[in-house]
Structure 1
């Protein structure tokens, strides 16, 4: 299994947290997602946490479509 560098995905304040805490964190814990972005995601889709974003059907649909384009190795 490949290792994941949480420091590349998360703001510095969240990089040393455990997975349950990260999943319950606001989406602004993700590197590059501002507090305002989080507010807009909440308004548009009811997304408040990292787990909410991961479970958003539109995200899953987009990932599935992208996977169809990627050739199997």
Structure 2
């Protein structure tokens, strides 16, 4: 089953038509709103160079799970 996801608002214009594999290997600045300066700080602080690194970083992943859980509590 093919799945289509619109990511145009989440990505920098240059990355909108790229494959998922390309996006995951892209620098963090491929994400809309993340500047080169932001990307440099992420690399210096956490060793994050790519979108994949950011998404799989244990600190960011934990924070994402906590936010998701908070959105589903009574």
Normalised to the residue count of structure 2, the TM-score between the two structures is 0.88
Q: Distance in 1 between matches of 2:68 and 2:17?
A: 30
**Mind listing any 5+ residue stretches in structure 1 that lack a counterpart?**
none
Q: Report the secondary structure of 2:8's partner residue.
A: helix
Per the TM alignment, residue 6 of structure 1 is displaced from its structure 2 partner at its CA by 1.3
Which structure shows the higher helix fraction?
1
Structure 2 counterpart of 1:54 = 55
**Mind listing any 5+ residue stretches in structure 2 that lack a counterpart?**
none
How many positions carry a matched residue from both structures? 71
- Work out whether 1:33 is the aligned partner of 2:34: yes
Q: Distance in 2 between matches of 1:64 and 1:10?
A: 22
* Structure 1 consecutive aligned stretches of length 4 or more whose deviation exceeds 3 Å: none
Structure 2 counterpart of 1:65 = 66
